[in-house]
Amino acid sequence: AIRCTLVNCTCECFQPGKINLRTCDQCKHGWVAHALDKLSTQHLYHPTQVEIVQSNVVFDISSLMLYGTQAVPVRLKILLDRLFSVLKQEEVLHILHGLGWTLRDYVRGYILQELFII
């Protein structure tokens, strides 16, 4: 469960909205306010250390930018590209698929809506 991190909010589990996936149906707060609960705040940064990138951490960070969206701003995409570059392609594909993106859409920078005429 991904609880809301906003002060005085008692929401214990993010429920995607029916109209806007990035808004919680229970508390009406945004996805980022909930997703921050998943990110570790216990890590101390040491400039001389090289940090090992783990796919589950990249998933959490990616979800802040990609979950429920149709496009990713260029500057954020550059940051994600750098994180994805140190993962195996299978891990990147798994992350993107879990967030509703294909590799082709991610490379393009937005989800292409294909219209099917019946």
Q: Note the pLDDT of residue 51.
A: 63
When the pLDDT of each residue in the chain is averaged and rounded to a whole number, the result is 86
- Cβ contact 39:31 at 8 Å: no
pLDDT tens-digit map of 15-60? 998 888 889 999 999 988 888 877 755 444 555 555 677 888 899 8
Q: In angstroms, rounded to a whole number, what is the distance separating the alpha carbons of residues 39 and 42? A: 9
Q: Note the pLDDT of residue 43.
A: 47
The model carries a pTM of 0.68
Q: Is 107 helix (H, G, I), strand (E, B) or coil?
A: helix
113 has a pLDDT exceeding 90 = no
* 99 CA to centre of own chain: 7
Q: Note the pLDDT of residue 33.
A: 87
